[in-house]
Amino acid sequence: MLEVKNLCKYFGGIHAVDGCSFTAERGKITALIGPNGAGKTTAFNCISRTMAPTKGEVWLDGERIDGLRPHKITHKGLSRTFQISRNLADMTVLENVICQSQVRGWRDLFRPAMSPEEIEKAMGILEFLGITRIAHEDGSNLSYGQKKLMDLAALLMSDPKIILLDEPAGGVNPTLMEEIVDHIKKLNAQGMTVLIVEHNMELIMRLCDRVVVMAQGRVIADGTPDEVRSDPAVLDAYLGGVLDEEAA
């Protein structure tokens, strides 16, 4: 579904992403992992066009999207979350979710701010995630974990075909982490394609069908979790470039 070809993002002499190529197969959960500074989030930013790539191509369902504006990419069916929640603190959870609804034409500008159809759809998503109880809470009153769930709800409001999750379980307690994992599995079982950046390797190895490993802006490994976990290049990258016999 998603194909990234020779993606590059340079900041002066710093090559944050340097010739990165990989695919995310339709209906599968693919992980993008690597040590800190590997370029994972920058790659996400370029794919979703919240940051313009220096060069390279991004294809979604056979259509090139790297030249589109972010809202156009969302209309094509690709949505993402961020490491840090971007909710609007002076709005309720329900309002935060509904404001992610797609505007499909100029006539939508004359509809109510929250139409009955949008409220029904948003409440259904909140129910799926088990957070209807906080639907009318202000965004500023939420815990860190609740913000993660609200971000996921807002993501689903745009009817995506593929979702990019940037550390969805980062910083949450183990119980909530398992809830988030369960939600991702259920979405995938319904046909959702998932591309995920996450530092919790135990979670990645049991959740994902395929793992792409980045280091210093480049892809150094790509395969099943079992193939990647035993790859010497991956071990080398995570251990800072030094491997002894025991570590290998």
**For domain 2-86+160-238, which architecture applies?**
3-Layer(aba) Sandwich (3.40)
Q: What is the pLDDT of residues 179-229, one digit of tens each?
A: 999 999 999 999 999 999 988 888 888 899 999 999 999 999 999 998 988
Span 234-247, average pLDDT: 58
pLDDT score for 243: 40
Q: Does 245 score more than 50 pLDDT?
A: no
Under DSSP, is residue 150 helix (H, G, I), strand (E, B) or coil?
helix
- Contact between residue 224 and residue 211 where contact means Cβ atoms under 8 Å apart: yes
Q: Does 19 score more than 90 pLDDT?
A: yes
So where are the chain's domains?
2-86+160-238
Give the bridge partners for 214, in sequence order: 219
Torsion of CA 189, 214, 52, 68, to 10 degrees: -30
Interior/surface letters 51-90, b for 16+ CB within 10 angstroms, e for the rest:
bebeebebebeeeebbebeeeebbebbbbbbbeebebeee
237 Cβ contact partners less than 8 Å away, ≥ 6 residues apart:
34, 35, 38, 213, 215, 220
Q: Does 112 score more than 80 pLDDT?
A: no
pLDDT score for 91: 86
Distance from C-alpha of 248 to C-alpha of 246, rounded to nearest angstrom: 5
Which residue is associated with the tokens 């807002």?
154
Q: Does 115 score more than 90 pLDDT?
A: no
In SS3 terms, 209-228 reads as CEEEEEECCEEEEEECHHHH
Predicted confidence band of residue 230 (pLDDT cuts 50, 70, 90): confident
Q: Does 173 score more than 80 pLDDT?
A: yes
pTM for the complete prediction? Answer: 0.86
- Contact between residue 223 and residue 211 where contact means Cβ atoms under 8 Å apart: yes
Distance from C-alpha of 36 to C-alpha of 163, rounded to nearest angstrom: 22
Distance from C-alpha of 86 to C-alpha of 50, rounded to nearest angstrom: 13
